[in-house]
Structure 1
Amino acid sequence: MEFFGFDFIDDLASRCRDSLPVEEILTSAGPYCPLTGADGSTSAGCIRLWSASASPLVDRMIHIRLQADPVDTQLFFLFGRSPTAMPHFHAQVVQFAPDACVYNADFLARLDPVEHPDYFARVFEPLSKPYWRAINDPQNKCAMAPANPAIAAYLTPWSIGVGQPTNRAELDRVAPQIHAFLDHYLDLARSLDYPIDDAHAQNARDRAHLDNFFADRLDRRAWNGVYGLIGEDAGRHLKDVLKTSLS
């Protein structure tokens, strides 16, 4: 099976490496954390982790691959520094057949839109055009509501994604819009100037946000699948990598 989901996410990571001052954290075995099946004998993917220590606004980049034939899951994140207003970026593709997948791309907002409407204007209004282009194409299943509104509450209304199976052709159609999301994020990483008055409170908010976003209760089926694949201890470690700042 051709892993087009992996190729799609790997390309996003490559675009970021070309734009951001990131350095991959490696071990003697290669990637930051190879993942082994719960039986202890089969490869189940890996966690790749990059530090963005030279960036004033971005903390880390993460690409997680989980493999359980025939399902190939790609998770991709860019995390803004916790004391800042820099949003987080998330994309994923779950491929479960040669031409079947679900996907999602979105930001995670760092401030409240009622208290900080100017922040939302600066960070999110530029996403509206690519968002509308994606969801107004009647060929695309992303025109439908997200499958899990409990998770969507911790993302934004600009999410481009599907909860029902679609195909590679749709992923190809929405790729320019997802690239526009990523390009805007990378522009923010160079130019966002939104001072935070209370860095301690912003740190605490970010931790609570990520604790909730990655909580088992929001998607028990998905997390139980992770624990079943690599074991609960490794699954909890995976979550810790996602939630823990490097700076």
Structure 2
Amino acid sequence: MSKPLAIITGATGGIGEAIARRLAQDNWRCLLVARSESALHALRYQLGDEHLFLALDLNDEAAPITIAQHAEAQGGATLLVNNAGLNQMLPFENTPPNLMRKQLQVNLLAPMLLTQMLLPQLKSCQGTVVNIGSAFGAIGYPYQSAYCASKFGLRGFSEALSRELDGVVAIKYLAPRATDTQINDAQVRAMNTALGNKMDSPQQVAEIFMQLLNSKQRRKAVGFPEKLFARINGLLPELVDSAIIKQLKTIKSFLGSRESSL
């Protein structure tokens, strides 16, 4: 019996690569999707020849079709991991409209379109979709307006579709907190230290991903006190307003025009 096929977008980023490695250990075949062909080739070489890769940009309208066709040629996907994402920390008034569109496209619209394109394959095997969100999908954070909008949207999409496809396809949502990947440069690490924010390793996130995947849970948030903070934000957002506004001066001191692939 051939191994089930998992599609991972953003597969060469810190979290995406860790998830791909962990899935490969659990006898999944991976279709690795990212923009850099050289990085994909290197990862596939390490994982083994049974794994596949596609170098493409999720901003391309043809990307979902191309991915679905490649998966179909391999017998169909059993798992889709919508992990690719873009983030840039900027004041909203200085955020270029094209950057807002790009973040919403990659972080929200691309996962929706790819999920829709793959639904026939996933329905045929009662497969699973795991959308990789963020703690900022439950907590609006200053200088992250477009990113928060995209991740709030991804969380809402996951919740709605999970209820719509109950018993047909499992739709799950994983919300990591700050993660120790290459996208976090010295400036960002210094800001997290100054704010007392903990950072998880990609491997830790991948282990939690596997726990979610192999459970009946539909959603999982990573880390304490972030999980508690998100719950409080849902119930008493005024308390969170005060706590975050007190951080503004520190956050402003670390602002930079940084764009990253998660």
Q: If the length of structure 2 is used for normalisation, what is the TM-score?
A: 0.27
Q: With CA pairs under 8 Å and 6+ residues apart, which has the higher RCO, 1 or 2?
A: 2
Q: If the length of structure 1 is used for normalisation, what is the TM-score?
A: 0.28
Say which structure is richer in helix: 2
Say which structure is richer in strand: 1
